Amino acid sequence: MKKIILVGRSESGKTTLIQALKGEKIHYHKTQYVNHFDVIIDTPGEYCETRNLGAALAMYTFEAHVVGLLLSATEPYSLFSPCCAVMANRPVIGIVTKTDHPDANPKRAEAWLKLAGCEKVFFTSSYNHDGIGEILEYLKEDGDVLPWEIDGKE
The pTM is what? 0.88
Looking at residue 36, its amino acid is: H
The helix or strand, by DSSP H or E, that contains position 71, with its residue range, turns out to be strand 66-72
In the chain, the domains with their CATH numbers are 4-105+117-140 (3.40.50.300)
Q: Determine the pLDDT at residue 151.
A: 67
27, pLDDT greater than 90? no
Q: How far apart are CA 130 and CA 122, in angstroms?
A: 9
Q: Which residues, listed in sequence order, are joined to residue 97 by a DSSP beta bridge?
A: 72
- Contact yes or no for 78/40 (Cβ under 8 A): no
List, for residues 111-143, the tens digit of each pLDDT value. Answer: 999 999 999 999 999 989 999 999 999 999 988
Mean pLDDT, the chain, integer:
88
